[in-house]
Amino acid sequence: MNTYTPILLMIILALVVAVGGLVGTGLLGPKRYNRVKLANYECGVEPTPNAGTAGRFPIKYYLTAMTFIIFDIEVVFLYPWAVSFEKLGAFGLIAILTFIFLITVPFVYEWRRGGLEWD
């Protein structure tokens, strides 16, 4: 157990800092709420008005987020595969080709929807 004590202390310290920051912000932060602070806001994109109280955001916002997720997932899975490429053999090659095919499907969907056009 002595070898894990520093790790346990770091985890406890991280939790104390995280929870302490949240509690401190809640106790010491300003409590002045107004309509602008409570309005929807997503990365500077203004929501389009509709009949309800909540606005709708353009599809470009979601397609940009989807692009990030696609490439993020791809890198997370391709890096370990590249590190152990020689050990995996033919099974690893077939698995990664299947993965690349499956990750291409949302990429093609986004491309067809116009998510890669930056005008």
Dist. CA 7–CA 15, nearest whole Å: 12
pLDDT (tens digit per residue) in 58-68: 677 777 787 88
Is the pLDDT at 54 greater than 70, yes or no? no
CB 66 within 8 A of CB 110: yes
Dist. CA 56–CA 47, nearest whole Å: 5
pLDDT of residue 3: 87
Confidence band, pLDDT 50/70/90 cuts, at residue 44: low
